[in-house]
Structure 1
Amino acid sequence: MAYPLEGRLRPAHELGAASVSALGAALVLSSPGLFLVSPPWHLALAGLLLGHAAWRGAAGLSTLRYSANLRRRRRYELHSADIPWSADRLFLGRGFRWDQRHTQRLFEARLPANQPLLHGRGFAAALAAFVPAEEGTGSVGGDPAIHGVEPAETEIWMDLEDRVGHTLVLGTTRVGKTRLAELLIAQDIRRGEVVIVFDPKGDVDLLRRVFAEAERAGRGGEFFMFHLGHPDISARYNPVGSFSRITEVATRIAGQLPSEGQSAAFKEFVWRFVNVMARALVALGRKPDYQEINRYASDVEPLLIDYFEYWLDREPAAAGWREELRSLAIDKRNLDKGLQSRGARAVSLVEYARRKKLYDPIAHALASTLNYEKSHFDKLVASLLPLMEKLTTGRTASLLSPELDDSSDWRPVFDWTSVIHLGGIVYVGLDALSDYEVAAAVGNSMFADLTSVAGSLYKFGAGRGLPGEVTPRRIAIHADEFNELIGDEFIPLLNKAGGAGFQVTAYTQTWSDVEARIGSPAKAGQIAGNFNTLIMLRVKELATAELLTSQLPEVHVVSTVVSSSVSDTNDPVDFADFASRNEDRIAPEAVRMLEPTDLVQLPKGEAFALIHGGQLYKIRMPLPSASSDPLMPTSLAAIGETLHARLDGPWNQPEDTSEPEGRRVV
């Protein structure tokens, strides 16, 4: 028979019946004559009584364990080598699927009438000592009853096919968000995936974890560290050096400029100007970088001279142009006002091409920039110059504008196409606490570059330009402090990169941070719609909690209502003077499966997850322990020394075909 109320949070009345049955069995065995039972039938009676004692005792202990479980504070840790992993699934932790029963149990646990049972002492409290040693107790805070409503937990795994729908992790500070990232990153590395970790703050612990997991998986030679805060040991990267279309260079640079109000017109002008410079540099066989753009943004004439000479040398109609240029007579008073303030060499080249009626699209575009009076032109590009100065000042300049022919610089240079084709692990530390604008510019340029690579993979497949057939690789992107990185460049990566094997896991504190960064609730909603999987730890903002709870259905919980009534009678014939009635009524009530306040009270290391097509799971995540890990580097300097020792480059290391450490689950 199914009862409408489980009644699990109550005194263990079964223990009294079990005690009486056990005492009766002892008396039957010691004095069978008292019960008028002759041997050997007394053994059968004693066995029946002991069986009843065991049955009712087990039920009573289960009731006590349930009460103890509701107040047991858990801390779940795993040594790095013990983290389970699978080639087909992603391990999230221990837990259970949440349904109406758990909403009912949590409702009952919070009733005032049940508080004495929930916070009792004695044998029920002593049962908490039987928790496995790996869980123990710790300063996890929160309400332990949220997870305690289900004593039987199992390992929770997520299908890897769901990850290309992207994953959003929300949680306030110091509740295990970065440690969850370490858990997921460790599994991605062991599966042999391309792993890219974006960390705006530059968390040294996260960097050490990524490095250690790469070593543990035998992939230490595939590890790159790009860190704006530590340029001396950082790999180098040109944010505008790789592109599918030349216009991407201008988009990545101009995209960092303000576009509100009157700034929009200046931004469009800057885009055109940078695009002209990029086209000229590529035509000259020079790779665009921040140093080159900054140099010619301040003075475009040297670039114009280089390109005009390059073009005229190859233009059949301009044969002998150098001799003709020497005899070219120019009266600056007859020139446009903009040309009058320019250098003689640049003006002569432009005038020569005009008089000879020669045309080249890049040369024409460069010449048009000279038509602006120099002081006026400087005002038009004024918003570009401060940004370029920030990106080309100090030691950061050598990171973002690498000199490939400098044999004395041991730091490797990477690009996303090579990383993906050859299977790399990249940690990107943007040092946003020191310089937020530079971090945002570099991060957004990297996302734009990755989106371009994703487009190439989607159109042409893996291994374009490489001999033989190349197996497509999964690309796992982990973006910590997602709100610091989000921009217009990130949206296409979420929208369209799934088809190219990109799987993004984004971590942030509140959804309001994303809305504030984007500046548009509609765009923020567009971004949220691209995350098919949602993992939410403890949050402090109700609006963020409702991002999960609003997707859940309503369920019915039942409660008992005590009703008592008395009625008297004045009928002289009736023997009874009054009638009384006492009853317990069951009252159903429709509530949300989870309330936002439940997410505010989650203990550290615990979360709710919407996975497998919107199914709700309650999980406890293992917090990776760095203790006794021989592969964990002691400091950032130790990582730098290891990277420096690999002078032959990460791609020249022999491939390690051994099985990675850890408990692999098939």
Structure 2
Amino acid sequence: MAQEYAVETLLRPAVELYSVAACSSAAVLCLAAPWSMALTPSIGVGGACCCAMLGAIRLKQANVVLRYRRQMRRLPRYVMTSTQIPVSHERLFIGKGFRWDQRHTHRLIQTYRPEFRRYVEPSILYQQARKLEARLEFAPYPLRKLRHLTRWDHPLNPVRPLPPVGGLPRLHAVEPIEVDVTLPLTERVGHSLVLGTTRVGKTRLAELFITQDIRRNEVCIVFDPKGDADLLKRMYVEAKRAGRDGEFYVFHLGQPSISSRYNAIGRFGRITEVASRIAGQLSGEGNSAAFREFAWRFVNIIARALVELGQRPDYLLIQRHVINIDALFIEYAAYFFAQNDTKAWDVIVQLEAKITEKNTPRHMMGREKRVVAIEQYLSHARLYDPVLDGLRSAVRYDRTYFDKIVASLLPLLEKLTTGDIAQLLAPDYMDLQDPRPIFDWMQIIRKRAIVYVGLDALSDSEVASAVGNSMFSDLVSVAGHIYKFGVDDGLPGEPANQKIPINVHADEFNELMGDEFIPMINKGGGAGIQVTAYTQTMSDIEARIGNRAKAGQVIGNFNNLFMLRVRETATAELLTKQLPSVDVYATSVMSAATDSSDPHGKTAFTSNTQDRITTTSVPMIEPAHIVALPKGQAFALIEGGQLWKIRMPLPAPDPDEVMPKDLQAMAGYMRKRYVPSEEWWDSVSDQDQSASLPPDMLDDDLDVERV
């Protein structure tokens, strides 16, 4: 067979069928008329068996060629319901595919040669059927129905349309034999990066990973900036199917009335983390660096005072005291004097009565009289308290100058405390009438819970970015605590010292990331954080960070790379430049003729014909191949640089998918407001994409106390 030779050619006529026909004829003759083959009847039976065996071998070889040619135009359908997704506690299922090597590069290059075009491109009959459909669109009513015959999606239809996935099927058809592609779970701690343009399958790949994380009873945190109703539905269905719906939390900025609540600065290991999480979102470029440092110091002063007063910091309290520091100064002074100088207030009241506009220091103009009196008392009393001294330094600033240097801080706090969002990011812990749960990352990790974070970025990208960045910053802080002390720190009993996998799925992560994201992927693995980030191009990361070196630093921390179809050549080269060059074989026919110089000789000329085999070094894959990937297919560089070609299963609808009414309302809102994500599998899914969910998904009896 052709595969046994140096130059493999599968795009050719299946000549093995001639041998099959000859062997079949010989076997029939050996049985029906052995005398025609000069055989006795008993020997004829043995001869028929031998011919049949040889024919079966040649038929198997012919089937390889026929299947290879057939898949060049249409791949076999790969459909899988959610319940059929294999879940292993050792490996992560990705899809079906094969490991790419030199043979596949050689086969792929062959498909571009003109002599093989008729095996790769759609047949003439197929092209005529599509032209007929275009003409019948404007035909009278009875004739218009004929289009349904050519569009009939069934194997018996010889001209059925190709699936709407685009791209080149040949990229996956170069290997007829597929296997299940999996990634060892031990490799996930090295983090994974998924690159692909819009609507090519990133969300479907995310659903595969998230489904397995939920069923393995692991922590699963999903950041979804744009809001995908189908992803939310998939997470809830899988959580309920795994019996974990009581551990399912939804945080959504677009639906604060039914969203869980979260305080991004309410939990910390060191008090300075509060200031770092807030000031870290301010610009640090150029002249803004000085204002950022002052904002950090000022927020740190306020946070220290709140903690000393027994109050939990939140964005509302920080904003209130940034706008008016006098109230906090007076409140903390009362707390301090009550413990250290009980007679101080008598003196302060007397000083306050003597204060007028004329004897008020210039830098204290505009301050309350009591603030001025406290400052005058402290300037003479020999009392020292670091928190009180910090507040004193803040109130001693000129009011106009102070407003200017906090001007960069106030817009950020306004984004996080305006409207109903304030109820989500600054929850009232004492309001027992509010049924919405409050969560923090340490609680989520200890409970091995599932969290969906919808940031409503299409409505307000600024707020979405600020909230997402603050959540990342908080998660980095929690990871640092876990790395140092473990998950069970502070709980009774002996610590288990067991590392809990924390799966973080960040869709459109370039919209969320800041400087905090780099240490999370760089050092978070020690705390069990496993990040899977999804974005379109490398330029998105660079544009967000504003620094090419930092963008390279981010990408360099992802050990696993999944490359779907991309439109940017530089993004495609992120994969192709990491692959070696391979040698491919090519055949060329050479013929020559030589005239004889002897006029009396018997030979007038001599001719020579040769088949020459040459080798050429070419890249294993080109950026153009990645640009031409069909939807739902990807190249994956995993397990230390092994290149795999993968296609993901199309989702089939599950009849038992149900959601509670409040999540139905949220999903309907998301479907109305957002552009649906990858819909390339709609040809096999009967799910309704309208604002309301199908009747079979309604269930009034579900308990939704956690959502």
With normalisation by structure 2, the TM-score equals: 0.87
Task: Please list the CA deviations of residues 75-113 of structure 1 after superposition, one character each: whole Å capped at 9, or x if unmatched.
Answer: 533111111101111000111111111111111122111
What is the 5 A alignment of 1:178-197? 178-197=203-222
Tell me: CA distance 1:396–1:645, structure 2 relative to 1, closer, same or farther (3 Å): farther
Among 613, 619, 630, the alignment partner of 2:640 is 613
What is the 5 A alignment of 1:68-217? 68-119=70-121, 138-217=163-242
Q: Which sits farther off after the overlay, 430-439 or 109-118?
A: 109-118
State the match for 1:625 in structure 2. Answer: 652
Say yes or no: does 1:249 pair with 2:274. Answer: yes
- Matched-pair contact (CA < 8 Å) for 1:552–1:593: yes
Partner of 1:4, secondary structure, is coil
- Matched-pair contact (CA < 8 Å) for 1:448–1:490: yes
Q: What's the CA shift for 1:335? A: 5.0
Q: What's the CA shift for 1:633? A: 5.8
Partner of 2:183, secondary structure, is strand
Q: Which sits farther off after the overlay, 602-611 or 468-477?
A: 468-477
- Matched-pair contact (CA < 8 Å) for 2:73–2:122: no
Give the partner amino acid of 1:482: F
If asked which structure has higher relative contact order (CA below 8 Å, sep 6+), I would say: 1
State the match for 2:601 in structure 1. Answer: 574
Q: What's the CA shift for 1:637? A: 3.5
Tell me: CA distance 1:333–1:364, structure 2 relative to 1, closer, same or farther (3 Å): farther
Say yes or no: does 1:464 pair with 2:464. Answer: no
State the match for 1:659 in structure 2. Answer: none
State the match for 2:137 in structure 1. Answer: none
Give the whole-Å Cα distance in 2 for the aligned partners of 1:337 and 1:647.
Answer: 59
Give the whole-Å Cα distance in 2 for the aligned partners of 1:54 and 1:637.
Answer: 57
Give the whole-Å Cα distance in 2 for the aligned partners of 1:625 and 1:593.
Answer: 34
State the match for 2:5 in structure 1. Answer: 3
Give the whole-Å Cα distance in 1 for the aligned partners of 2:665 and 2:576.
Answer: 45
State the match for 2:683 in structure 1. Answer: none
What is the 5 A alignment of 1:571-610? 571-610=598-637
Give the partner amino acid of 1:637: Q
Tell me: CA distance 1:129–1:27, structure 2 relative to 1, closer, same or farther (3 Å): farther
Sequence identity (%): 52
Among 25, 41, 63, the alignment partner of 2:65 is 63
- Matched-pair contact (CA < 8 Å) for 1:554–1:590: yes
Give the whole-Å Cα distance in 1 for the aligned partners of 2:655 and 2:463.
Answer: 37
Give the whole-Å Cα distance in 1 for the aligned partners of 2:51 and 2:702.
Answer: 74
What is the 5 A alignment of 1:222-301? 222-301=247-326
Tell me: CA distance 1:644–1:494, structure 2 relative to 1, closer, same or farther (3 Å): farther
Tell me: CA distance 1:260–1:33, structure 2 relative to 1, closer, same or farther (3 Å): same
Q: What's the CA shift for 1:649? A: 5.5
Give the whole-Å Cα distance in 1 for the aligned partners of 2:24 and 2:705.
Answer: 76
What is the 5 A alignment of 1:525-564? 525-564=552-591
Task: Please list the CA deviations of residues 33-91 of structure 1 after superposition, one character each: whole Å capped at 9, or x if unmatched.
Answer: 23322222222222222222222222112211111122214553311111110111100
State the match for 1:521 in structure 2. Answer: 548
Q: What's the CA shift for 1:333? A: 4.5
Among 31, 43, 46, the alignment partner of 2:45 is 43
Tell me: CA distance 1:35–1:120, structure 2 relative to 1, closer, same or farther (3 Å): farther
Give the whole-Å Cα distance in 2 for the aligned partners of 1:119 and 1:322.
Answer: 92
Give the partner amino acid of 1:478: H
- Matched-pair contact (CA < 8 Å) for 1:163–1:503: yes
- Matched-pair contact (CA < 8 Å) for 1:167–1:531: yes
Among 332, 342, 352, the alignment partner of 1:319 is 342
Task: Please list the CA deviations of residues 143-201 of structure 1 after superposition, one character each: whole Å capped at 9, or x if unmatched.
Answer: 11111111110111110000000000011111110111011000001001011000011
Give the partner amino acid of 1:584: D
Task: Please list the CA deviations of residues 186-225 of structure 1 after superposition, one character each: whole Å capped at 9, or x if unmatched.
Answer: 0001001011000011111111111111111100000000
Say yes or no: does 1:451 pair with 2:453. Answer: no
Tell me: CA distance 1:634–1:143, structure 2 relative to 1, closer, same or farther (3 Å): farther
Give the whole-Å Cα distance in 1 for the aligned partners of 2:653 and 2:400.
Answer: 58
Tell me: CA distance 1:8–1:633, structure 2 relative to 1, closer, same or farther (3 Å): farther
Give the whole-Å Cα distance in 1 for the aligned partners of 2:502 and 2:284.
Answer: 32
Tell me: CA distance 1:204–1:129, structure 2 relative to 1, closer, same or farther (3 Å): closer
Tell me: CA distance 1:120–1:415, structure 2 relative to 1, closer, same or farther (3 Å): closer
Tell me: CA distance 1:645–1:39, structure 2 relative to 1, closer, same or farther (3 Å): closer
Give the partner amino acid of 1:65: R
Partner of 2:180, secondary structure, is strand
- Matched-pair contact (CA < 8 Å) for 2:218–2:501: yes
Give the partner amino acid of 1:4: A
Among 549, 565, 572, the alignment partner of 2:592 is 565
Give the whole-Å Cα distance in 1 for the aligned partners of 2:488 and 2:415.
Answer: 36
Among 388, 392, 399, the alignment partner of 1:367 is 392
Q: What's the CA shift for 1:380? A: 1.0
Give the partner amino acid of 1:189: I
- Matched-pair contact (CA < 8 Å) for 2:301–2:387: yes
Tell me: CA distance 1:124–1:106, structure 2 relative to 1, closer, same or farther (3 Å): farther
- Matched-pair contact (CA < 8 Å) for 1:182–1:206: yes
Task: Please list the CA deviations of residues 517-536 of structure 1 after superposition, one character each: whole Å capped at 9, or x if unmatched.
Answer: 11111001111111000011
Give the whole-Å Cα distance in 2 for the aligned partners of 1:253 and 1:319.
Answer: 36
Task: Please list the CA deviations of residues 547-580 of structure 1 after superposition, one character each: whole Å capped at 9, or x if unmatched.
Answer: 1111111111111112121111121343111111
Partner of 2:439, secondary structure, is coil
5+ residue gaps in structure 2?
A: 128-152, 668-697
Task: Please list the CA deviations of residues 425-472 of structure 1 after superposition, one character each: whole Å capped at 9, or x if unmatched.
Answer: 110011111111111111111111111111111101121111224443
Give the whole-Å Cα distance in 2 for the aligned partners of 1:51 and 1:283.
Answer: 89
- Matched-pair contact (CA < 8 Å) for 1:336–1:371: no
Give the whole-Å Cα distance in 2 for the aligned partners of 1:482 and 1:472.
Answer: 25
Q: What's the CA shift for 1:642? A: 9.2
Give the whole-Å Cα distance in 1 for the aligned partners of 2:311 and 2:699.
Answer: 33
Give the whole-Å Cα distance in 2 for the aligned partners of 1:110 and 1:629.
Answer: 46
Tell me: CA distance 1:148–1:266, structure 2 relative to 1, closer, same or farther (3 Å): same
Give the whole-Å Cα distance in 1 for the aligned partners of 2:521 and 2:608.
Answer: 64
Q: Which sits farther off after the overlay, 567-576 or 329-338?
A: 329-338
Q: What's the CA shift for 1:324? A: 1.8
Give the whole-Å Cα distance in 2 for the aligned partners of 1:647 and 1:578.
Answer: 93
Tell me: CA distance 1:630–1:197, structure 2 relative to 1, closer, same or farther (3 Å): same
Partner of 1:512, secondary structure, is helix
Give the whole-Å Cα distance in 2 for the aligned partners of 1:473 and 1:282.
Answer: 30
Partner of 1:565, secondary structure, is strand
Partner of 1:327, secondary structure, is helix
Say yes or no: does 1:425 pair with 2:450. Answer: yes
- Matched-pair contact (CA < 8 Å) for 1:180–1:623: no
Tell me: CA distance 1:379–1:535, structure 2 relative to 1, closer, same or farther (3 Å): same
Give the whole-Å Cα distance in 1 for the aligned partners of 2:704 and 2:107.
Answer: 60
State the match for 1:660 in structure 2. Answer: none
Give the ranges of 4+ consecutive aligned residues of structure 1 lying more than 6 Å apart after TM superposition. 122-125, 128-131, 639-645
Partner of 1:566, secondary structure, is strand
Tell me: CA distance 1:192–1:642, structure 2 relative to 1, closer, same or farther (3 Å): farther
Partner of 1:84, secondary structure, is coil
State the match for 2:415 in structure 1. Answer: 390
Give the whole-Å Cα distance in 1 for the aligned partners of 2:286 and 2:12.
Answer: 65
